[in-house]
C-alpha cells in the first residue's frame, strides 16, 4: 500500500480540491482527511458515516470550591495562567499538566477527561473514508491525526487496498508531522505567490526532515508566470520533481459550489491536468 500525503504549507492553495480529485482517480484506495481542525474534504465526498468514535484526549483541572481554602498556591504554580484570581480554571488556557492537582495541599483539584472530538469511518462513492471533527478550542490535533491514519491503515490492510490518499493539515507543526509519519510520498500544492513559494520551501524542508520524498504542483500557475518560474527553479535546485501546473479555472469553484470533485463536472482544463498529475504521481 502506498501512502500519499497532500500538503500545502499555507491553506487555500487548492489542496483539498486536488486531494478530492486524486481520490476520485486513484483505484483501490482509502481516503483520510487529516486537516482535523478545518476538515473540508467531506463537503466533496458526502460520506455515509458507518462508525462514529469519541476522541478523548487530555484532561482539564477543576477546582472544588468547597475544599479550596484560597491559598493561591495553584495560581502561582500554573505556568499557563489558567487559574483566575477567583479560583476558577479557564478551560481554554488549561493544558492539563496536573501540576495544580499535585501541589494543592487540600486535594481541591481534580482532573477531568476532555471529550476532544469525534472521528468517523465512512463510505463514499469513491470508497472508504476516515475523517474527524476536533472540538473547537481543543488541542492534540496531532494525536487525532495519528489515530485516524492508523484506522485508515487497518482498513487498507483488511481490504488489501493499494493507496491511501491523505489530505494533510496546513502549517508545519504537530499535525503535519503526524500526517507525514509513515508516508511514502508528499505532494505539495502551491500557488505562484511569494507566500506560496515561501511556504512550499518550509513544507519541503519539513518533509525532508522526516525523509519523505516530495513532488510539487503549482495551482493557478497563470496568475503570475514569473513567480511560477521562480518556483520551478526552486524545484530544480532542490531536485524536487515539478509534476504539474494547473491553470486558474472557474470550473474548480463551480464544482466546489456544487459539492463535486472537478473530475465529475463537465471536462475542464483543470481536470485534464490533474489526471496527468495522477499519472506522474502514482
Please say which residue, 95 or 254, places its beta carbon nearer to ligand SF4: 95
Continuous segment of H or E residues that includes residue 214? strand 214-219
The candidate with the shortest Cα–Cα distance to 17, out of 187, 253, 245, is 253
For the bound state, the minimum distance from the C-beta of residue 157 to another protein, rounded and expressed in Å, comes to: 27
By CB under 8 A, tell whether 167 contacts another protein.
no
Rule CB under 6 A: which residues touch ligand SF4?
61, 63, 68-74, 78, 80, 82-83, 87, 89, 94-100, 104, 106, 108-109
Of the candidate residues 1, 75, 155, 223, the single one contacting another protein (CB under 8 A): 223
By CB under 8 A, tell whether 27 contacts another protein.
no
Cell of 215: 513532488
- How many whole angstroms separate alpha carbon 167 and alpha carbon 171? 13
By CB under 8 A, tell whether 257 contacts another protein.
yes
Q: Is 258 exposed, middle or buried (0-12, 13-18, 19+ CB in 10 A)?
A: exposed
By CB under 8 A, the residues from 85 to 114 that bind another protein are 92-93, 95-99, 102-103
Interaction mask 38-77, another protein, x per CB under 8 A:
xxx--x--------------xx-----------------x
Cell of 251: 470550473
The candidate with the shortest Cα–Cα distance to 1, out of 24, 32, 36, is 32
**Measured on CA atoms in the order 85, 86, 92, 96, is the torsion positive or negative?**
positive
**CA-based radius of gyration for the chain:** 22
For residue 27, the partner it binds in another protein, ligand SF4, none, with Cβ less than 5 to 8 A by kind, is none
Stretch that binds another protein, among 37-45, 122-130, 147-155, 269-277 (CB under 8 A): 37-45
For residue 71, the partner it binds in another protein, ligand SF4, none, with Cβ less than 5 to 8 A by kind, is ligand SF4
Q: Are 215 and 19 in contact (CB under 8 A)?
A: no
Residues contacting 281, CB < 8 A, separation 6+? 4, 22, 185, 187, 215, 243
Half-sphere exposure of residue 55: CA atoms within 13 angstroms, side-chain side: 24
Please count the residues of this chain forming the interface with another protein, following the rule CB under 8 A.
Answer: 60
By CB under 8 A, tell whether 259 contacts another protein.
yes
For residue 7, the partner it binds in ligand SF4, another protein, none, with Cβ less than 5 to 8 A by kind, is none
Phi, psi of 239 (to 5 degrees): 70, 30
Contacting residues toward another protein, per CB under 8 A = 8-13, 16, 37-40, 43, 58-59, 77, 79-80, 92-93, 95-99, 102-103, 134, 136-139, 141-142, 169-174, 177, 191-196, 198-199, 202, 205-206, 209, 223-224, 227, 250, 253, 256-257, 259
Amino acid at each position: 500500500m502506498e501512502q500519499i500525503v497532500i500538503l500545502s504549507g499555507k491553506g487555500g492553495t487548492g489542496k483539498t480540491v486536488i486531494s478530492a480529485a486524486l481520490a476520485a482517480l486513484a483505484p483501490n484506495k482509502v481516503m483520510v482527511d487529516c486537516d482535523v481542525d478545518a476538515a473540508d474534504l467531506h463537503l466533496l465526498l458526502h460520506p455515509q458515516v458507518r462508525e462514529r468514535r469519541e476522541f478523548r484526549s487530555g484532561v482539564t483541572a477543576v477546582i472544588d470550591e468547597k475544599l479550596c481554602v484560597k491559598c493561591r498556591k495553584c495560581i502561582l504554580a500554573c505556568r499557563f495562567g489558567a487559574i483566575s484570581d477567583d479560583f476558577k480554571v479557564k478551560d481554554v488556557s488549561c493544558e492539563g499538566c496536573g501540576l495544580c492537582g499535585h501541589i494543592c495541599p487540600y486535594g481541591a483539584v481534580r482532573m477531568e477527561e476532555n471529550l476532544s472530538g469525534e472521528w468517523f469511518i465512512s463510505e463514499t462513492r469513491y470508497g472508504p473514508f476516515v475523517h474527524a471533527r476536533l472540538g473547537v478550542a481543543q488541542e492534540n490535533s496531532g494525536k487525532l491525526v495519528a489515530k485516524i491514519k492508523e484506522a485508515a491503515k487497518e482498513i487498507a490492510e483488511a481490504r488489501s487496498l493499494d493507496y491511501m490518499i491523505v489530505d494533510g493539515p496546513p502549517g508545519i507543526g504537530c499535525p503535519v508531522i503526524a500526517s507525514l509519519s509513515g508516508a511514502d510520498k508528499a505532494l505539495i500544492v502551491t500557488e505562484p505567490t511569494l507566500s506560496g513559494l515561501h511556504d512550499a520551501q518550509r513544507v519541503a524542508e519539513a518533509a525532508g526532515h522526516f525523509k519523505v520524498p516530495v513532488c510539487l504542483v503549482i495551482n493557478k500557475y497563470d496568475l503570475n508566470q514569473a513567480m511560477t518560474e521562480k518556483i520551478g527553479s526552486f524545484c530544480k535546485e532542490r531536485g524536487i520533481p515539478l509534476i504539474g501546473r494547473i491553470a486558474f479555472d472557474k470550473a474548480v469553484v463551480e464544482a466546489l459550489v456544487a459539492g463535486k470533485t472537478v473530475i465529475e463536472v463537465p471536462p475542464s482544463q483543470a481536470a485534464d491536468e490533474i489526471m496527468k498529475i495522477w499519472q506522474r504521481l502514482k
